Structure 1
Amino acid sequence: MFKHSLFIFSIIALFTTSACSRTETAQPVTLTFVSTYDGKESDLFKSRVKDFEQEHPNIKVNVVDVAFGSASNYVKTAMLGDQTLDGFRSDNSWVPEFVELGLLQPIDSMISSDDAADFNPAALESVKIKGRLYGLPTVVEAPALLYNKRILKESGFEAPPKTMDELMAVAKKVTGKGRYGIYVSDDSYFALPYIWAFGGDTITDDRKVHLVSAESVNGLAYMLQLRLNGVTQPYPDFTDSYAKMMNDFKSGKSAMIVNGPWAVSDLLSGSEFQDPGNLGIAAVPAGPGGQGSPAGGHSLVVSKYSKHPKETYRLIQFLTNAQSQARQVKEARTLPSRLSVYQNSSLASDPIVQGFKEVLNSARPRPRIPEGSLMFGDFTANVGQMLQKKITPSEAADNIEAAWRILLKLDR
């Protein structure tokens, strides 16, 4: 009798424990998520958050809107100040610093191998630090060679240049009669494809500086040679550089530029691209040392201090799934970070999406170091001085390397 009663008691206890566990996991949870979206992307993001809440009725999401320019400091202040924050949208270049500060939750144990395999490799690598994964890419970006198909065809070119030698030849051929071949920007982000094309490098993940190598200097020298050959913009300096580059290309004053997918909506408003089919998209040409464009973009990350990391991961996985990204492409004209989205029937024939897909095949992560987002200040300043012929490519490389060694606190 005693044994029978003990057995019944054990069964009751087991069911009671199970019921308590179910009740505990079913308790309502509120997540605080910082959004840096604006415009159409913000509307879409909040719409998808509502969809998530409907699918997960016990999880509510408090969205905090923060301007992109101040988001990095806002997040650091909030987390280090013990404010409630479960996740946020991070620029990929911020991730190494956040990891060093111990602010991010690694998520490699949460993501399935099949899910990881669906992300663009360069996008996923951009948020991997020392082998650990710290975010799910929501959008991926990389500069491309954008070209005016009509201008190139009228000059005898049926296809865009595929090598740096061909780029020089095409630029020379189309220059004349108030038009020039290619806008060469002083923004050093757009200099990376030239440096990589000649086999050079900037800063490696193990904090080695390589800009004074012969290969890196050759990449800078090629940019200057375009200027010296008279096939670039006629302006003496880089005042309003980005606006001039865009306006000249939209009006047909220039035949080619290097820019990313974020520029497409603006370009399609120009007189040259009323027919979107006239906008050509190709990888930045290869050089003797290879090919590559810097992989940029944003990822959704989980706070190390979140009390609900699993629920937050569930949220960011939903917001970066194929359905979310397909809507992003259609409504906000971004590029998906998931490979499967490019096979979507409504996107498979989209020349802009598919054009950038080819560019992403040669995308490369930028240096994954905490100071990575700060490296472009001295870089851009010296590239601009070089392109104005005030210093040589070697002097520019020396100046940049010296500044980076100070930034990284390296011994000379």
Structure 2
Amino acid sequence: MKLKAALPLLAAALLLPSCSAGGNTGNPVELVFWTTTSESESLFFRQMITEFENTHPNIRVTLLEKALSSAGNEYKNAILGGQSIDVLRADNTWIPEYADLDIIMPLDRLAADRELSRFVPTALSAVTYQGQVYGLPSVMEVPALMYNKALLKEAGYDNPPQTMDELKTMAQALSGPDRYGLYVTEDSYFALPFVWAFGGDTVTADRKIEISSAASQMAFAFMRELRTEGASQPYAGFDGWYDTMMHDFGVGKAAMVINGPWAVADLLKTKEFADPNNLGVAPVPKGPAGQGSPIGGHSLVINRYSEHPKESYELISFLTSEEVQARQSLSLRTLPTRSDVYEDPRLASEYLLQSFKEPLSLARSQPMIPESSKLYRDFTKNLNAMLLGRESPREGAQRIEAAWKSILKLE
């Protein structure tokens, strides 16, 4: 049975218990909250939930930790199976599909316009599908150019590269027997700033595939040149690429990387960045036709068939409030999703947090289509082949396009 077809029957079934529960109004409402957070983030959430329960004695919350890699499908299966779930911390790329399947609740009737207006516009756009808001943004993520200030200064550079040409020139100058300029990854998420810089695109909102355009192919050719013309890491492949990139950057072997705010806490534990002032953060350089990095993140959504939508909204509103966002940022070094938090005096002196404001101002949304989360597998596989020279930019881009036509059912 298809999920969307089965959901009306599930909704009818879920209404039955609530009709017979009218005499239990004195009992606390029990909410089930699935989270995809790391260990430290889950600990923070538990502390905040305790505070929430203290101020909402009629609500009790059970927090269940789920692996991010499998939670997306697990949630869909759980809803079909009638499991009691009220709130989910969802990757933003899941939201269009969930909204299309009608398994998350639009918040327009629960959330006041005034409250929604306090969120960063790009964060709010990432949870908006076909004109309706489906979640409250909890964490924002945006890739930026991170650089070792001391290494750049040693090579004669006082500022990070501003253009793609400067990026290549500086990375070449920073490369030598014991060091290289820039780590270039096979992960297609981190390729989007290059694609957009050269005027390319992935899939438009009206489902037009742009990945094989001449502009997109120019971006892939440029990324390949970084590898072949002495600007990037000397390794033959990409096995364990993220750990390798983080290690090399942390010990001074890589002068620049493209990474997100989630990496800051770990980088500050390394030799090179024991002094936080040595870690530079700047937008990924602009190209001949544009600039921007993909806005990513995680948001709190409500099960469309929750028996407790009002209480669920009270929970997610509390967890994304100005005070909780500020404390979350200070504790976990995450980027706040609310505009007012950036003006909080406690965060004003947070150099690294403030450094991400410019990359955020240039951020772009990923395709808001139900299949969005499914596009990266074929993109990454063929990007790997292009960077290693097994496919030309034209061949790789056309193979990605062919795979996406199948996923989007355009053939």
**Superposition TM-score, scaled by structure 1 size:** 0.91
**Aligned counterpart, 2:164:** 164
**Aligned counterpart, 2:18:** none
Establish whether residue 190 from structure 1 lines up as the match of residue 174 from structure 2: no
The 10-residue stretch of structure 1 (239-248 or 98-107) with the greater mean CA deviation from structure 2: 239-248
Q: CA deviation at 1:352?
A: 0.9
**Aligned counterpart, 1:343:** 343
* Structure 2 residue identity aligned to 1:392: S
Establish whether residue 245 from structure 1 lines up as the match of residue 245 from structure 2: yes
Give, in whole Å, the separation in 1 of the partners of 2:231 and 2:63.
Answer: 49
SS at match of 2:337: coil
**Aligned counterpart, 1:255:** 255
Give, in whole Å, the separation in 1 of the partners of 2:294 and 2:25.
Answer: 42
% identical aligned pairs: 51
**Aligned counterpart, 1:75:** 75
Post-superposition Cα deviations, 1:71-106, rounded to whole Å, max 9, x if no partner, equal 223221221112221111111111111111110110
* Structure 2 residue identity aligned to 1:201: D
Give, in whole Å, the separation in 2 of the partners of 1:180 and 1:101.
Answer: 46
Give, in whole Å, the separation in 2 of the partners of 1:79 and 1:229.
Answer: 51
Q: Is the alpha carbon distance of 1:288 and 1:24 closer, same or farther for their aligned partners in structure 2, counting shifts above 3 Å?
A: farther
Q: CA deviation at 1:64?
A: 2.4
**Aligned counterpart, 2:123:** 123
Q: CA deviation at 1:109?
A: 2.6
Q: CA deviation at 1:26?
A: 7.5
The answer to whether the 8 A contact 1:40-1:331 is kept is no
Q: CA deviation at 1:177?
A: 3.8
**Aligned counterpart, 1:364:** 364
Post-superposition Cα deviations, 1:37-86, rounded to whole Å, max 9, x if no partner, equal 23221111111111111212112222223222222232212211122211
1:180-329 superposed matches below 5 A: 180-329=180-329
Q: CA deviation at 1:320?
A: 0.6
Give, in whole Å, the separation in 1 of the partners of 2:406 and 2:383.
Answer: 18
The 4+ residue runs of structure 1 with deviation greater than 3 A are 23-28
SS at match of 2:138: strand
Establish whether residue 105 from structure 1 lines up as the match of residue 112 from structure 2: no
Establish whether residue 352 from structure 1 lines up as the match of residue 318 from structure 2: no
Give, in whole Å, the separation in 2 of the partners of 1:320 and 1:290.
Answer: 32
**Aligned counterpart, 2:63:** 63
SS at match of 2:409: coil
Give, in whole Å, the separation in 2 of the partners of 1:387 and 1:64.
Answer: 40
The answer to whether the 8 A contact 2:261-2:334 is kept is yes
* Structure 2 residue identity aligned to 1:29: V
The 10-residue stretch of structure 1 (231-240 or 54-63) with the greater mean CA deviation from structure 2: 54-63
Give, in whole Å, the separation in 1 of the partners of 2:319 and 2:284.
Answer: 31
Give, in whole Å, the separation in 1 of the partners of 2:26 and 2:104.
Answer: 26
**Aligned counterpart, 1:95:** 95
What 5-or-longer segments of structure 2 have no aligned partner?
Answer: 1-22
Give, in whole Å, the separation in 1 of the partners of 2:324 and 2:25.
Answer: 26
* Structure 2 residue identity aligned to 1:47: Q
SS at match of 1:62: strand
The 10-residue stretch of structure 1 (338-347 or 124-133) with the greater mean CA deviation from structure 2: 338-347
SS at match of 1:397: helix
Give, in whole Å, the separation in 1 of the partners of 2:331 and 2:365.
Answer: 27
SS at match of 2:345: coil
Give, in whole Å, the separation in 1 of the partners of 2:132 and 2:26.
Answer: 30
SS at match of 1:181: strand
**Aligned counterpart, 2:379:** 379
The answer to whether the 8 A contact 2:90-2:298 is kept is yes
Q: CA deviation at 1:25?
A: 8.1
* Structure 2 residue identity aligned to 1:380: T
Post-superposition Cα deviations, 1:283-319, rounded to whole Å, max 9, x if no partner, equal 1011111111111110000111011212211110100
Give, in whole Å, the separation in 1 of the partners of 2:219 and 2:38.
Answer: 36
Q: CA deviation at 1:36?
A: 2.1
Q: CA deviation at 1:24?
A: 9.7
1:386-405 superposed matches below 5 A: 386-405=386-405
Q: CA deviation at 1:329?
A: 1.1
Post-superposition Cα deviations, 1:168-221, rounded to whole Å, max 9, x if no partner, equal 121122222421111110111110000001111001222211011111111111
Give, in whole Å, the separation in 2 of the partners of 1:30 and 1:261.
Answer: 34
The answer to whether the 8 A contact 1:120-1:339 is kept is yes
SS at match of 1:110: coil
Q: CA deviation at 1:382?
A: 0.9
Give, in whole Å, the separation in 2 of the partners of 1:166 and 1:118.
Answer: 37
RMSD over aligned Cα, in angstroms? 1.6
Q: How many residues in Structure 1 have an aligned counterpart in Structure 2?
A: 389
**Aligned counterpart, 2:8:** none
